[in-house]
Structure 1
């Protein structure tokens, strides 16, 4: 049996792992690679023939794990895509949004002789390819063994991180020998709003794990509700200002809205108007409602006692662009939650344009911002940023918290590793992380007595 790491190798995005037996080929995840220096069209060139893939297993919906599935389908993949029910629904929403992003990049530059000329890259896929991809989804619940073939069985284990996110456990009978291999996908963190805690994985022979927060631990000493109360009080209650929170539409926004619901429902703060300005977030929230049985115990209890976790009196979901624009004319204190989280597009840029020079505005980052992004430039303290081809002075207050990060930290990843049996676990492969994070995590895993390796892209392992 061969394992090849074709994506997220010594980098964060583009997760894609190939597992081959003598008679069957499995692809685990098929994400978009959007590392710095990678062009959109580079994702079109697979290092294998898509038609040779028998089945795809999807750990969760995020684009760096799912975003290249329609390209795979368009280029000849004709098999099933196995995932959990929420992952199927969320992935379809995200892939449709990806098409919209692709099309928006086709900026019209000029017209001539009845023809239109575009400067942006050609879309990797269109809506029809997403629809075809969605028709391939076969959904499987957690903890239910699914026999892919007579020799390959799959089990999904909850890992938090996003609704429906799963670690993949494969039991493969290879030349008469049973081998077990786990792919963690992205590991969540304990006590995260709405989501279940990541579960320990069963004992396996090989472990492929993410390493995003290797060497880093999340903040302690203050919980999320207290932090939000502190920031909202300073920015909207003591002073009549506005709080802008860039947040990814799927996952982060739902957890944030639920936490704000608890704060205002409990009376910890006077009511402040909250706008969720993201149609994608509204669609994702409907998926969370549909799969309500899969949220954590606390959220289900809140629903019984207080009602819908994602709805409260002072909350408005903004749909139309006209409504979004009108928020600029709302002169009372308010909270604006909008995407995208790193400020590289979406309606959040409109709100920044109108508020970045507002002394009474606070911008609170609740997630990671990659180098080179507008969010990263604000976090590092740039006094001037460029928006809509204008250089604007930054007068708004810039704040950050990692209490809503969806990734488990160094200790959370180590808990997954340490739950394994040193006698049985032959090797740990580190993927989905920056070089320094991987090295620090590798050192800790070695100290626990495990053999660990950091694969290069395309490196093949006989297992």
Structure 2
């Protein structure tokens, strides 16, 4: 049995791991690498022949885990893609959204290229990575499996999905393998959630395995203690929208983060903790994915279900408006009362959030609250590090808005959560822990924590094959 980490090796995005069991090739996740430009062809240069992959296991829908699947299919993969039912629904939406982002970049590239002699070269460089057709071809390959239901991939390989929180449908993939007569087991955590997160259930314990491939996003870092999500929101809204007649812009991923945020605002306003403030959710993708959260309502946590039974829909309340079309989105600029605007994308690399930033980044009465991780090289990261001037929509703009950040909406477990995930394993059985999906500093901090407790740990090099 051989393991090769082809993506999210010593970086956060682009998760892609290859497990070879006596020539049977299993790809775990196939995400877009944000640290390459996601509209370039660099994401299609797979280090293996896509047609040689026998099956794909998808841990969850986020684009850095699912977003390169249509490229894999376009280039020859024709096997099954195993995932949970909510993951299938949400991944389809996110991949379709990626096509829209690709096409917008193509049009922007053609505009910049003009009609001169360099036009053809420029537009070919901006060719979309895949099209709607490739997404539909990918969706046809989904085979959905419920949580904690063993699924036999081959006579020698059985897999189960264990809930890990983080996102609706997110799972660790646990494989039991007969490798030439020897019983072996390996788990891929995907992304690990945290306890008491709005809407989502706590991660379940991953059963004992020989090998554990775990994310390390928050290695060495601890989430803020002492304040609740609601307390931070009340404090921020009070300052940005009530004491001052301003607007609060919250960049949020449409799927997962937006639903948790809307539910938290619902709790605040429905219990009278703040006077009413207009809330716009400006993301068609958020509206569509909220329907999926309603569809799989039985998978939400007990608190959300209790709220639903007592007060009704968690994702709907007075003064909340879901914006669908572009005209209504642009009209928000002419809404001069204090308001909260929730829009995607969370790292500010595309979507309607760029319009809201364009019109508000120089507004002293605007607060921008980041509630998630922003990868290096993204506009969100540049704002968080305090750049005084940023490039938005072909303009250089000075930053006068107030920039704030909270990690309380991070759907990733912190250092303590990551350590506990490993500590729940049987130390006598566990042969090796492989760290993926984190920047080098986080991985090293997590590795140091594990080594101090005498766990065998490896930070894999990209493309290096490990005999298990």
Shared fold, TM over 0.5? yes
Distance 1:293 1:449 in 2: 40
1:175-214 equivalences in 2 (<5 Å): 175-214=180-219
Q: Is this contact kept in 1: 2:35–2:376, CA < 8 A?
A: no
Equivalent residue, structure 2, for 1:148: 153
Cα offset, 1:450, TM superposition: 1.2
Q: Which runs of structure 2 are paired with 1:297-312 in the superposition (5 Å)?
A: 297-312=302-317
Task: Determine the C-alpha separation between the residues in 1 that align with 2:170 and 2:399.
Answer: 37
Q: Please tell me whether residue 62 in structure 1 is matched to residue 67 in structure 2.
A: no
Q: CA deviation at 1:391?
A: 3.1
Where do residues 132-147 of structure 1 align in structure 2 (5 Å cutoff)? Answer: 132-147=137-152
| 1:71 paired residue number | 71
2:286 is equivalent to residue 281 of structure 1: yes
CA distance in 2: counterparts of 1:434 and 1:132, whole angstroms: 33
How far apart, in 2, do the equivalents of 1:370 and 1:97 lie?
19
- Is the Cα contact below 8 Å between 2:36 and 2:42 reproduced in 1? no
Normalising to structure 2: TM-score of the pair? 0.96
Question: Equivalent residue for 2:42?
Answer: 42
Distance 1:372 1:52 in 2: 33
Instruction: Name the counterpart of 2:114.
Output: 110
Please tell me whether the aligned partners of residues 422 and 449 of structure 1 are also in contact (alpha carbons under 8 angstroms): no
CA–CA distance in structure 1, aligned partners of residues 37 and 148 of structure 2: 39
CA offset digits 1:95-115 (Å, max 9, x no partner): 1111111111213233489x9
**Residue 353 of structure 1: how far off its partner (Å):** 1.7
Q: 1:75 to 1:331 in 2, by over 3 A?
A: same
Moved more, 275-284 or 341-350: 341-350
Given that residues 101 and 350 in structure 2 are in contact (C-alpha distance below 8 angstroms), is that contact kept between their aligned partners in structure 1? Answer: no
Aligned to 1:20: 20
Q: Does 1:100 align with 2:97?
A: no
Find 2:243's aligned residue among 213, 238, 248: 238
Q: Secondary structure at the match of 1:11?
A: coil
Say if 1:430 and 1:455, in contact at 8 Å, map to a contact too: yes
Instruction: Write the distance in 2 (CA, Å) between the matches of 1:2 and 1:117.
Output: 41
Q: How many residues end up aligned between the 2 structures?
A: 462
Quick one: which of 248, 254, 272 aligns to 1:249?
A: 254
Three-state SS of the structure 2 residue aligned to 1:430 is strand
TM-score, normalization: structure 1?
A: 0.97
Q: Distance in 2 between matches of 1:125 and 1:383?
A: 35
Unaligned 5+ segments in structure 2 are none
2:412 aligned partner: 407
Q: Would you say 1:324 and 2:329 are equivalent positions?
A: yes
SS in 2 for 1:148: strand
Contact map agreement 1:8 1:433 (CA 8 A) in 2: yes
2 CA distance for matches of 1:291 and 1:198?
17
Deviation (angstroms), 1:118? 5.1
SS at match of 2:114: strand
CA deviation map 1:415-455 (0-9, x unaligned): 10000111100000011111111111111111222110111
1:462 aligns with 2:452: no
Q: Is the 8 A contact 2:5 2:464 kept in 1?
A: yes
Q: For residues 388 and 126 of structure 1, do their structure 2 counterparts lie closer, same or farther at Cα, with a shift above 3 Å needed?
A: closer
2: CA distance, partners of 1:110 / 1:380: 34
Q: Is the 8 A contact 1:141 1:156 kept in 2?
A: yes
- The residue number in structure 1 matching 2:4 is 4
Superposed CA RMSD in Å reads 1.6
In the alignment, the residues of structure 2 paired with residue 375 and residue 432 of structure 1 have an alpha-carbon distance, to the nearest angstrom, of 19
1:173 to 170, 178, 200: 178
> What is residue 82 of structure 1 aligned with on the other side?
82
Query: Could you tell me whether the CA contact under 8 Å between 1:34 and 1:40 is conserved in 2?
Result: no
Runs of 5+ in structure 1 lacking a partner?
Answer: none
Q: Residue 300 of structure 2 corresponds to which residue in structure 1?
A: 295
Structure 1 residue runs of 4 or more that deviate by more than 6 Å after TM superposition: none
Q: CA deviation at 1:381?
A: 2.3
Aligned equivalent of 1:445, options 445, 450, 464? 450
CA gap 1:338/1:140 in 2 versus in 1, 3 angstroms? same
Q: Distance in 1 between matches of 2:114 and 2:439?
A: 41
SS of 1:32's partner is coil
CA distance in 1, matches of 2:389, 2:105: 25
Q: 1:353 is paired with a residue of what secondary structure?
A: helix
Contact 2:348 2:354 in 1 (8 A): yes
Indicate yes or no: 2:129 matched with 1:124. Answer: yes
1:427 matches 2:460: no
User: Is 2:369 the partner of 1:364?
Assistant: yes
Q: Is the 8 A contact 1:110 1:117 kept in 2?
A: no
Q: 1:196 to 1:442 in 2, by over 3 A?
A: same
Distance 1:44 1:386 in 2: 27
Q: Deviations over 1:133-176 (max 9, x none)?
A: 00110100101111111111010001011100000000001111
